[in-house]
Amino acid sequence: MPSLPVIPGIRNRYPRVFRGVLELVLVLSLWVAYSLSRLFADANMGPALARANDLLHIERHLGIHWELSLNKLFIDNDAIGLVGSYWYATLHYIVTGAVLLWLYRLGRHCYVPARRALAIATILGLVAYLLMPTAPPRFIQGYADVLSLHAADGWWGTDASAPRGLGGLTNELAAFPSLHAGWALWVAISLQRHARWHWLKGLGWAYAAGTAIVIVGTGNHWVIDVIVGWLVVVAGFLAAETLPSPKDAPGRTNGDTASDAPELVSAGPGAPSAAAHAK
């Protein structure tokens, strides 16, 4: 059985692999903790429906009650409904993970602040889920669950976007705020800050806007859920900027700069690169 001193040896011999594995473990641990912690939220439908109706009242007062028209669009057009269902159930995992990996390759000065902003926003959303369970539109009479309508054509079940048979492992009252919307905005901000091509930056903002439309149109979130989801991500980036700035170690290339040891929270996007320190 290998002894503990073997671990530093592996770290020294394969630094990139070691750092990459630690980062992967950190991100997956955060996601697992987030998913499991949502199960501790109050599942009492009465208060959750009351909060949903309160949000609906606020939206009507502000003139942003767009759920019915969007939901009808996704119901009446099968192609839009099916694409929206796959978008809702899949893209937030794939796109968020791909951007995290891309930022990791860019270097620690890009990756660490963005990863920490994402973690802070996710924790803020989780706290709201635990303190204020809120029913989504699909639980209110007059709205349809679009994913349920297309469950036979997808890998999800009729209860939320969980895989078939695993619906009991998700909190269906985790509507306020929308981390689908929040994570999509995180992607857009990350691309805006670090992408070289204007078309890629535009694609990021289109993805954030498209996600907002999809999550409302499929009956899974209120418009206010989207707005507050965006706000928690902005708060995540602002909080990250108040912390010490990460710095790339001298002499490392882009692929080697992510971090020596994973950290949960760190700095803002203005951290200087290794090239700047070399001057």
Q: What is the pLDDT of residues 221-250, one digit of tens each?
A: 999 999 999 999 999 999 999 988 776 544
Q: Is the pLDDT of residue 279 over 60?
A: no
Average pLDDT over residues 172-201: 95
- Tokens read off for 66: 């767009």
Beta bridge partners of 134: 174
- Tokens read off for 159: 């209860």
> pLDDT grade, residue 86 (50/70/90)?
very high
Which pLDDT value is given to residue 9? Answer: 53
In angstroms, the CA 55 to CA 232 distance is 17
Residue 237 neighbours by CB under 8 Å, 6+ apart = 113, 117, 189, 268, 269
Residue 65 neighbours by CB under 8 Å, 6+ apart = 56, 59, 223
Q: What is the pLDDT of residues 120-170, one digit of tens each?
A: 999 899 889 889 999 999 999 999 999 989 888 877 665 655 555 445 556
pTM for this prediction: 0.79
Which residue blocks in 195-222 are alpha helix, DSSP H?
198-217
In angstroms, the CA 170 to CA 84 distance is 20
- Tokens read off for 145: 């669950």
